[in-house]
């Protein structure tokens, strides 16, 4: 019997790996053209990002932000919405967090301050995604274009707001430094292996968020409606899903998740709000969602991969000046291209191969 | 109010607009044929880098422009392959190209020139401004001298090309055979297919035109406006060009008006910096910067005018059996 569809292990595992390898192959080729050895670079990368415990700490630290960004893009994708605005939502989420901290950090103890700040971050992130969601639902304006616009508006707005926040006598475009009550507990207190890394409890929060995401999307009736909307809007509408409300709520959830991504870097590492702190994490979220196929395990693995690329890439750029950190922005683009836009590039060949092995077995 | 010169605003508006005009015309071809072109930004950036580098190495701006055309068209063909042949997600593909180019141009600029992701100043290899005959003669007449010497004349060849393109694009889209097929593929590809038009070929051709046009935008940025390539120098021009398409309802003449308007905002922003205005006081530049994006959202929301995208936009064409 010939198969016309790929089995689940192929679409869920083999194809993403093949796509990822293609992206890394192109990246390796570019590194080779830059006059460096791809295998040696890979060696340095793995050594500094995975094998070295402190490096691993940093890898997981970056991954914590990326998990939230990946979740934000993923949950929107489940409803068939392409949220490019995670970057802006994270940026504005950082503002909500900072406003909460600046208002209360002198009065509240840490165990109360941190949740309040997180609510601030989620609230502002959701606020920033509300209008694109509303306009998509009610006026049919494409969410891709509006979220791109909102990224730019966020950048300009934050430029303005942060300049207003600079404490007197300071030059650095950043808010004042937070009080100690607003810094996240570090994980090296429990696991001294990680050494002096900013890895903090937001990593655990990110894992929890992954679990909650998985349960809500695949085990709740809302998640069922969400996926139905994404798979076939008309069918979902016919079955009684209120599409406009679905779109708005999904975008709110997406924005809130992106906003929560700000918690890790602002409260876990810098302890103040600075210009352009997301540094592209929102866009990394797009790559992660596509590579991880919006599945919690996939999102986790892709986030760790990107965390390792950032951390290892940093060390690599110190050793090999021809491979600056920006190389990894390029690799990120390649991964989006191969895992996202050309996700089914290898599908026909793989199907042929599977059918071929089947017939040879039967014969 | 003394620093607030209408004259210099008009001149800088005309100099700002071509970046958007080339990219918007490129996007117009792609999107009218049914392919979403979010990748304008990446193509602008790539052609800006390549044209600046080649112009510097050869000390010839024309070769720079030519190289820019090459690389931008090549990227457009990658996009076409993914969107048309592979039937992949066009939005994702565009985003991928933008992100990849943002990284790669920096890496290569650093590799070749070691100036922190910048290319060396072009100096003499910059594209010269055209001085029209008789500028000298008219320069003493108050308004006409300025108009002839600094608005109509005194621009680079690419500025003239940008404005000349407008009627050409309008004619091509609405009055040529290619234009008719292009619009058919963007509105109803199945009907076009039934009439014997190859949807795939038409879209490939449209993407090629888009690649060529888009390259001028990058070349203009690098060779005319700044005289070097700088990291992420397109600064959202590709996205703004897309929003002028929304603004202009995917019609060439209206889209150009949108480009001029955004060029005007850019000019005003520079002029407003630190100037005390009556009633409102000084307006921070970052807030003026926001205006084009806010206007786009308002237009998208259908509050000013209804903007209707080509019907088949973003949908890969699957030939019916």
User: φ, ψ for residue A174 (rounded to 5)?
Assistant: -160, 160
Q: Name the burial class of residue A208, with classes exposed (0-12), middle (13-18) and buried (19+) by CB atoms within 10 angstroms of its CB.
A: exposed
Mutate to test the interface with B, among A333, A338, A346, A349 (most CBs of B within 10 A): A333
Q: Hey, are the CB atoms on A326 and B297 less than 8 Å from each other?
A: no
Q: Is A279 on the interface with B (CB under 8 A)?
A: no
Distance CA A333, CA A27 (A): 10
Tell me the sheet residues that pair with A174: A274
pLDDT of residue A147: 93
What are chain A's domains?
Answer: 49-350 (1.10.3470)
CA distance A224 to chain B (A): 24
pLDDT of residue B2: 43
Average pLDDT over residues B56-76: 92
| Model confidence, pTM | 0.88
Report whether pLDDT(B278) > 70.
Answer: no
Nearest to A149 among B83, B111, B243 (CB): B243
Reported confidence tier of residue B127, pLDDT bands at 50, 70, 90: confident
Of B301, B165, B189, the closest CA to residue A149 belongs to B301
Nearest to B93 among A144, A322, A337 (CB): A337
Of B210, B174, B207, B180, the closest CA to residue B195 belongs to B180
Are the beta carbons of A232 and A80 closer than 8 angstroms? no
- Closest A-chain CA to B313: A142
Tokens of B179: 């234009």
Q: Hey, are the CB atoms on A148 and B239 less than 8 Å from each other?
A: yes
pLDDT of residue B77: 95
Q: Is A274 helix (H, G, I), strand (E, B) or coil?
A: strand
From residue A211, alpha-carbon distances to A67, A73, A206, A219, A284 in Å are 12, 16, 9, 11, 21
CA distance A261 to chain B (A): 20
Write down the domain spans for chain B.
6-119+146-300
Q: How many residues does chain B have?
A: 321
Q: Which of these CATH numbers, 1.20.1740, 1.10.20, 1.10.3470, 1.10.10, describes B6-119+146-300?
A: 1.10.3470
Reported confidence tier of residue B249, pLDDT bands at 50, 70, 90: confident
Region of A279 (left: φ > 0; alpha: ψ -120 to 50; beta: rest) is left
Of B70, B222, B217, B231, the closest CA to residue A329 belongs to B231
Of A337, A341, A348, A347, the closest CA to residue A27 belongs to A337
B30-34, B135-139, B213-217: which range is least confident on average?
B135-139
Nearest to B99 among A157, A323, A333 (CB): A333
A7, A11, A13, A18 alpha-carbon torsion, rounded to 10°: 120
User: Sign of dihedral through CA atoms A299, A303, A306, A312?
Assistant: negative
Q: Hey, are the CB atoms on A156 and B293 less than 8 Å from each other?
A: yes
Tell me the sheet residues that pair with B282: B276
Digitized pLDDT (tens) for each residue of chain A, 363 residues in all: 567 778 888 877 888 888 889 988 998 899 899 888 889 989 998 998 889 888 999 999 999 999 999 999 999 999 999 999 999 999 999 999 999 999 988 888 888 899 999 999 999 999 999 999 999 998 878 888 899 899 999 999 998 899 888 888 888 888 888 888 888 888 888 888 787 888 999 999 999 999 999 999 999 999 999 999 999 999 999 999 999 999 999 999 999 999 999 999 999 888 899 988 998 899 899 989 988 889 999 999 999 999 998 998 888 888 888 888 888 889 889 988 988 888 888 888 888 888 888 777 766
CB atoms within 10 A of CB B94: 29
Q: Is A199 helix (H, G, I), strand (E, B) or coil?
A: coil
Q: Is A153 on the interface with B (CB under 8 A)?
A: yes
Q: Hey, are the CB atoms on A341 and B38 less than 8 Å from each other?
A: no
Chain A residue numbers touching B289 (CB-CB < 8 A): 156, 159
- Closest B-chain CA to A156: B286
Q: Is B45 on the interface with A (CB under 8 A)?
A: no
pLDDT of residue B1: 38
Task: Give the number of C-alpha atoms closer than 13 A to the C-alpha of residue B271, restricted to the C-beta side.
Answer: 20
Average pLDDT over residues B289-316: 78
pLDDT of residue B138: 72
């Amino acid at each position: 019997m010939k198969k016309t569809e790929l089995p689940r292990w192929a679409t869920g595992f083999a194809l993403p790996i093949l796509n990822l390898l293609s992206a890394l192959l192109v990246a390796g080729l570019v590194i080779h053209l830059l006059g460096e050895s791809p295998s040696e670079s890979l060696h340095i990368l793995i050594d500094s990002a995975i094998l070295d415990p402190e490096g691993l700490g940093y890898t997981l630290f970056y991954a914590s932000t990326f998990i939230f960004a990946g979740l934000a893009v993923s949950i929107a994708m489940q409803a068939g919405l392409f949220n490019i605005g995670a970057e802006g939502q994270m940026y504005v989420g950082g503002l909500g967090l900072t406003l909460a901290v600046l208002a209360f950090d002198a009065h509240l103890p840490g165990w109360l301050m941190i949740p309040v700040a997180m609510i601030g971050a989620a609230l502002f992130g959701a606020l920033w995604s509300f209008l694109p969601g509303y306009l998509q639902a009610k006026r049919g304006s494409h969410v891709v274009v509006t979220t791109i616009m909102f990224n730019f508006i966020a950048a300009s707005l934050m430029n303005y707001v942060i300049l207003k926040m600079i404490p007197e006598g300071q030059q650095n475009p950043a808010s004042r430094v937070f009080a100690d009550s607003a810094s996240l507990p570090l994980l090296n207190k429990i696991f001294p292996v990680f050494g002096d890394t900013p890895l903090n409890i937001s990593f655990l929060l990110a894992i929890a968020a992954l679990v909650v995401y998985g349960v809500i999307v695949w085990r709740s009736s809302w998640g069922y409606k969400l996926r139905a909307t994404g798979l076939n809007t008309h069918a979902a509408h016919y079955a009684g899903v209120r599409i406009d409300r679905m779109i708005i709520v999904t975008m709110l959830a997406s924005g809130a998740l992106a906003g929560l991504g700000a918690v890790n870097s602002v409260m876990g590492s810098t302890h103040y709000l600075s210009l352009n702190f997301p540094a592209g994490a929102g866009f990394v979220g797009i790559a992660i969602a596509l590579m991880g196929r919006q599945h919690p395990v996939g999102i986790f693995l892709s986030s760790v991969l990107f965390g390792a690329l950032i951390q290892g890439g940093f060390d690599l750029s110190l050793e090999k000046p021809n491979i600056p950190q920006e190389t990894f922005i390029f690799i990120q683009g390649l991964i989006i291209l191969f895992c996202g836009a050309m996700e089914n590039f290898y599908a026909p060949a793989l199907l042929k191969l599977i059918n071929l092995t089947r017939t040879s077995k039967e014969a | 109010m003394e620093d607030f010169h209408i004259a210099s605003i008009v001149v800088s508006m005309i100099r700002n607009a071509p970046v958007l005009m080339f990219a918007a015309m490129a996007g117009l071809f792609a999107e009218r044929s049914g392919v979403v072109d979010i990748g304008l930004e990446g193509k602008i950036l790539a052609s800006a880098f390549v044209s600046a580098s080649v112009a510097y190495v050869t000390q010839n701006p024309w070769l720079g422009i030519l190289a820019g055309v090459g690389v931008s068209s090549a990227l457009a063909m990658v996009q076409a392959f993914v969107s048309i042949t592979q039937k992949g997600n066009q939005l994702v593909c565009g985003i991928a190209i933008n992100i990849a180019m943002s990284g790669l141009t920096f890496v290569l600029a650093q590799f070749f020139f070691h100036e922190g992701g910048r290319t060396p100043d072009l100096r003499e290899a910059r594209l010269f401004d055209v001085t029209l005959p008789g500028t000298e003669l008219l320069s003493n007449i108050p308004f006409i001298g300025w108009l002839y010497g600094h608005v109509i004349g005194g621009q680079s060849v690419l500025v003239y090309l940008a404005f000349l393109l407008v009627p050409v694009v309008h004619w091509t889209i609405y009055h040529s055979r290619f234009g008719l097929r292009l619009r058919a593929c963007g509105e109803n590809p199945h009907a076009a297919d039934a009439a014997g038009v190859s949807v795939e070929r038409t879209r490939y051709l449209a993407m090629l035109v888009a690649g060529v046009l888009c390259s001028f935008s990058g070349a203009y940025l690098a060779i005319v406006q700044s005289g070097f390539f700088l990291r992420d120098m397109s600064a959202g021009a590709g996205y703004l060009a897309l929003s002028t398409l929304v603004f202009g309802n995917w019609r060439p003449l209206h889209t150009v008006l949108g480009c001029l308007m955004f060029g005007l905002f850019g000019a005003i922003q520079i002029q407003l910096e630190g100037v005390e205005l009556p009633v409102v006081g000084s307006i921070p530049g970052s807030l003026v910067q926001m205006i084009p994006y806010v206007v786009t959202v308002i237009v998208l929301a259908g509050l000013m005018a209804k903007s209707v995208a080509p019907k088949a936009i973003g949908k890969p064409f699957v030939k019916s059996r």
